[in-house]
A and B are shown apart, each in its own frame.
Chain A
């Protein structure tokens, strides 16, 4: 039966190759795609400028700086006691964070002034124990964009992991 399908499908390839449509339309599509991508880029940037003006923009990133292995499993973000974002972490997410990637957890608007940023997270440490971490900070939002880093760190392995909330 398997040999049968081998034969069948080898012939199928030949038929497909011969019936592939001409390239002129494909060329037009490629050119159009390039234009559309550029336009989309402009629109996306414009949209971001309009939706998140510098005066009120706040972007919150998550990063890891750990000497010992901690697998992040979930994280919640509160601004002024209001839950604004949460994320469940996959193995890929953790791998990307371990390599130095920063996850943009939240992009939004807050008014100018003092705000309380609170984060709670759960993870699994290298002893396979579930750990719960908390971090918070009161930060002033000026008329400039505010970028905040939620960092999971362990001071080069010398302390237990902690969550910190800092201005970038």
Chain B
């Protein structure tokens, strides 16, 4: 009974690799001095790598120095690798911490998808360049790949009281180890503090079953008992504890644990194992009647389940259709559920349940389909963009617009020439301009009148030196006033010329840009044509997915049958075990009665 349970439950205790998040750290290398680069980093730190790449792409590199261009390229490579593009790994500068972090992120991604060979290659590539700050992350990922290749990994030392260390201990607890190694592991896992409780609980359960397998019941009990009462681990830990307690004769305690398993009402073989163990505990405590009743009830339930199996198989095959539909149209997310699996958590289970590694499988098919959709969407988006650009360019480039622009350039050139000539002329004849201004003439008239009056007074023998001086001064003031007005006018004219020059430059630039657009049109049209061809290819390939779905449905059908065949064998074995237990209990009971009767007869004879 115990080996069977252990075998089944070890299967249940298989964990997927716990993804270890490698968030981007602060960039240490110096970027070109432009706020746009900091805005790229803003997206990078948010782990929105696509937005970061987009922000980087609109920064023009033509004005950058050679050194800054290299840094720009390094940042682009880093973002590409962070975005999951392994083609850029070789272009990264290996001694940068950010680069190593990005590559480790990529390794993590490979491991999550079970691509161990790629992960191993990348790890080997950066082996000599890992900085101290990332060494535990590196060792953790390296350990996972080693664990996958079944090598001895216990010597790998990672700081315990860290996320990485705790996860590593959990991973180690999954593998099979010698008793000494298991003891060391138990000590290490037990020393983890409450920050790592979830990981610790899972690791303890793994260790508990491994101790159970090598008949080290005390350590098994120690492992299972240390699991937190609020633990998220399933009832299999309780079953393990019950089995271990049965083995050391602590039946009261084992019944408490096993009753909790039975109360969980799991329809699988786990509850039958718990039932068998519970009945054994009852029997050992002398409550044979209850043990017999429980065994009979269990046999009845197992037999009923065997009878129900064909119907279950049919229902589950219907569900497999639903599953395939979910794969094809993940956005629908609705499905009819049947019988015992009529559960709202079915979809969640498919995507999240670590035991069945459904996420990985599901992701593979979804990714395949989504890749096609993404490619089509990308192409459609580019088509739209290119069409939009071509339309804009066509509008900009119609002959009327070009002619109008050319006319504007000519007009502006002429205007500028006229103003320049006018200003030159004014400068050359500024005295004329000055003396011909109305304002000046009016003032001059007034001065002349005053002067005439003064001459008259002088002739009359009256001297007025002060008045003469004032008139001279006034003449000077008028002259300077008029000149400063003229200077102001001249400055304004020069500003106007500068504006015209700017306009002219802008017009020339606009013209140049339009010419650039014109040159790009054939390229754009060529791209469009190519995209149409590719779209057709992709659409054809998408059709292939329906065939894959058919294969999936068939495989699922076969798997369902295999599963129930296996469960049938397990149930039959349970029934046999239960019946044997009944016989054993009956025999024991009969023997006791027989002994009692014999004793009674002997007493009577005496």
Interface positions of A (Cβ within 8 A of B): 1-16, 18-21, 25, 28-29, 32-33, 35-37, 39-46, 48-50, 53, 55, 59, 61, 63, 92-93, 95-97, 99-104, 143, 147, 149, 168
Contact = CB atoms under 8 A, between A and B. Distances in A.
B513 interface: yes
Contact of A21 (B520, B544, B562): B544
A115 B350 CA distance: 58
A32 B534 contact: yes
19 contacts: A3-B355, A3-B356, A6-B355, A8-B559, A13-B360, A15-B552, A16-B368, A16-B548, A21-B544, A25-B537, A28-B537, A46-B513, A46-B517, A61-B39, A95-B46, A100-B45, A101-B38, A101-B44, A103-B42
A11 B564 CA distance: 16
B46 A36 contact: no
Contacts of B357: 6, 9-10
Interface string B526-538: 0100110010011
Nearest to A92: B46
A41 B563 contact: no
B364 interface: yes
A21 B12 CA distance: 34
A8 B38 contact: no
Contacts of A15: 548, 551-552, 555
A53 B55 CA distance: 18
Contact of A99 (B45, B268, B365, B513): B45
A39 B356 CA distance: 44
Contacts of B45: 92, 95-96, 99-101
Top 3 nearest A-B pairs (CB, nearest first) are A101-B42, A102-B38, A96-B45
B527 A6 contact: no
B71 interface: no
A39 B522 CA distance: 13
B296 interface: no
B516 A46 contact: yes
Nearest to B324: A12
A41 B268 CA distance: 57
Contacts, number: 175
B213 to A, nearest CB: 19
B558 interface: yes
Interface in B494-533: 502, 506, 513, 516-517, 520, 523-524, 527, 530-531
Interface of B: 11-12, 26-27, 35-36, 38-39, 41-48, 54-55, 57-58, 60, 267-268, 316, 320, 323, 340-341, 349-350, 353, 355-358, 360-362, 364-365, 368, 375, 378, 382, 385, 389, 502, 506, 513, 516-517, 520, 523-524, 527, 530-531, 534, 537-538, 541, 544, 547-548, 551-552, 555-556, 558-560, 562-564
Nearest to A41: B57
Contact of A40 (B57, B358, B558): B57
A96 B316 CA distance: 48
- By DSSP majority rule, is chain A's interface helix, strand, loop, or mixed? helix
A80 to B, nearest CB: 22
Most-contacted residue by chain B among A32, A55, A147 (CB, 10 A): A32
Contacts of A100: 26-27, 38, 41, 45
A12 B365 contact: yes
B11 A9 contact: no
Given A12-B552, A44-B58, A4 B38 contact: no
A104 B36 contact: yes
Contacts of A37: 57
Contact of A8 (B12, B355, B555): B555
Contact of A20 (B349, B361, B368): B368
A41 B57 CA distance: 5
A25 B535 CA distance: 10
Given A32-B530, A40-B385, A45-B58, A102 B42 contact: yes
B148 to A, nearest CB: 16
Nearest to B44: A101
Contacts of A41: 57-58
Contacts of A33: 378
A93 B47 CA distance: 10
Contact of B523 (A18, A39, A96, A101): A39
Most-contacted residue by chain B among A4, A5, A21, A101 (CB, 10 A): A5
Nearest to B361: A9
Contact of A2 (B47, B355, B537, B544): B355
Contacts of B516: 46
A31 to B, nearest CB: 10
B35 A102 contact: yes
Contacts of B564: 4
A29 B513 contact: no
Contacts of B378: 33, 36
Nearest to A35: B527
Contact of B39 (A40, A95, A103): A103
